[in-house]
């Protein structure tokens, strides 16, 4: 890991990244793409040394109550957070100044902060977004080797549901020829129904690849799925969007099952929900998406 000083902590849409880089090792990670101009090894976590001071100043000066979002580029609950507590300190500030919070994660470390999440949710709003890609536990360890297993993440969803904290699941990416099956999609949807999630974000059955993450993905295919890289190259070439051959059938199933169970399935509708901040003190609100 290494430290840098930053000029700001919140984007113009109120997104926050305390860290850059990740140690989860997910073989498909788009954040490895060169387009993001990360000028250090991906596993060498960059830490914003002055992040907490910047956040305090930013939140204190906000006239409007906002939803703070994090996790779009780097999971905020990577293992180093357990030592540094930067996200926990951020949550304390978010609670102090009355703002809302949402994050995307794959880690059960989030339960460490359940006390603060409940306090923020009572005062304003919290939505936890959990990524689920793989119903099969053994396959999960191959695709997402250094992070909480799918069953561990589902236990987080269960605990959050018991604590009346709303959740959303990201059902992506789904890797062609690997986990683009009815069994996988049905299994994940079953978990979502059991844990009472508000919505499932799915842009289609497939994935994206571009320079940076393509090379890492293919390297891992060679390691765990011999000869599959050649099938990807033959089928997709250098395409950015890689739709599964099963996309149409699986998306029809996805829409049918989510509709039957009153789970939001339109990404735009879900993003609107994530941005909504209850008007508990008659203040205005702004969004981060």
Q: What is the pLDDT along the chain (289 residues), one digit of tens a residue?
A: 999 999 999 999 999 999 999 999 999 999 999 999 998 999 999 999 999 999 999 999 998 999 999 999 999 999 999 999 999 999 999 999 999 999 999 999 999 999 999 999 999 999 999 999 999 999 999 999 999 999 999 999 999 999 999 999 999 999 999 999 999 999 999 999 999 999 999 999 999 999 999 999 999 999 999 999 999 999 999 999 999 999 999 999 999 999 999 999 999 999 999 999 987 654 444 444 4
Cis geometry, peptide bond prior to residue 173 (ω within 30 degrees of 0): yes
Looking at CATH, the fold of the domain delimited by 2-286 is given as TIM Barrel (3.20.20)
Q: What distance in Å separates the CA atoms of residue 112 and residue 115, rounded to the nearest whole number? A: 8
Q: What distance in Å separates the CA atoms of residue 121 and residue 91, rounded to the nearest whole number? A: 11
Residue 279's pLDDT is 74
What are the helix (H) ranges across 145-181? 150-162
Residue 280's pLDDT is 63
Question: What six digits make up the tokens of 233?
Answer: 């190259």
Closest CA to 77 of 144, 19, 11: 19
Residue 286's pLDDT is 45
Beta-carbon contacts of 191 under 8 Å, excluding residues fewer than 6 positions away, are 132, 135, 150, 154, 157, 169
Element (H, E) at 201: strand 199-201
Cβ atoms of 57 and 96 closer than 8 Å: no
Residue 278's pLDDT is 81
């Amino acid at each position: 890991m290494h430290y840098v000083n930053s000029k700001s902590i919140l984007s113009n849409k109120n997104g926050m990244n305390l860290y850059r880089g990740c140690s989860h090792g997910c073989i498909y990670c788009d954040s490895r793409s060169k387009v993001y101009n990360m000028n250090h090894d991906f596993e060498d976590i960059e830490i914003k040394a002055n992040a907490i001071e910047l956040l305090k100043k930013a939140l204190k000066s906000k006239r409007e109550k906002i939803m703070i979002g994090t996790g779009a580029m780097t999971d905020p609950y990577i293992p180093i957070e357990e030592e540094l507590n930067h996200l926990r300190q951020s949550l304390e500030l978010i609670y102090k100044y009355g703002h809302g919070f949402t994050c995307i994660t794959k880690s059960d470390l989030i339960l460490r902060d359940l006390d603060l999440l409940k306090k923020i949710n009572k005062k304003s709003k919290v939505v936890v977004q959990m990524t689920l890609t793989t119903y099969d536990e053994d396959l999960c360890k191959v695709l997402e080797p250094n992070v909480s297993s799918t069953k561990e993440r589902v236990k987080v969803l269960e605990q959050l549901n018991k604590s009346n904290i709303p959740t959303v699941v990201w059902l992506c990416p789904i890797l062609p020829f690997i986990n683009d099956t009815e069994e996988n999609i049905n299994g994940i949807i079953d978990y979502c129904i059991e844990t009472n999630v508000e919505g499932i974000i799915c842009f289609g059955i497939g994935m994206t690849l571009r320079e940076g993450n393509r090379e890492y993905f293919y390297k891992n295919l060679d390691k765990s799925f011999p000869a599959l890289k050649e099938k990807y190259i033959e089928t997709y070439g250098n395409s950015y969007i890689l739709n599964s051959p099963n996309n149409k059938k699986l998306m029809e199933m996805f829409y049918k099952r989510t509709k039957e169970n009153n789970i939001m399935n339109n990404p735009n509708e879900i993003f609107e929900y994530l941005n909504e901040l209850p008007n508990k003190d008659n203040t205005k609100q702004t969004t981060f998406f």
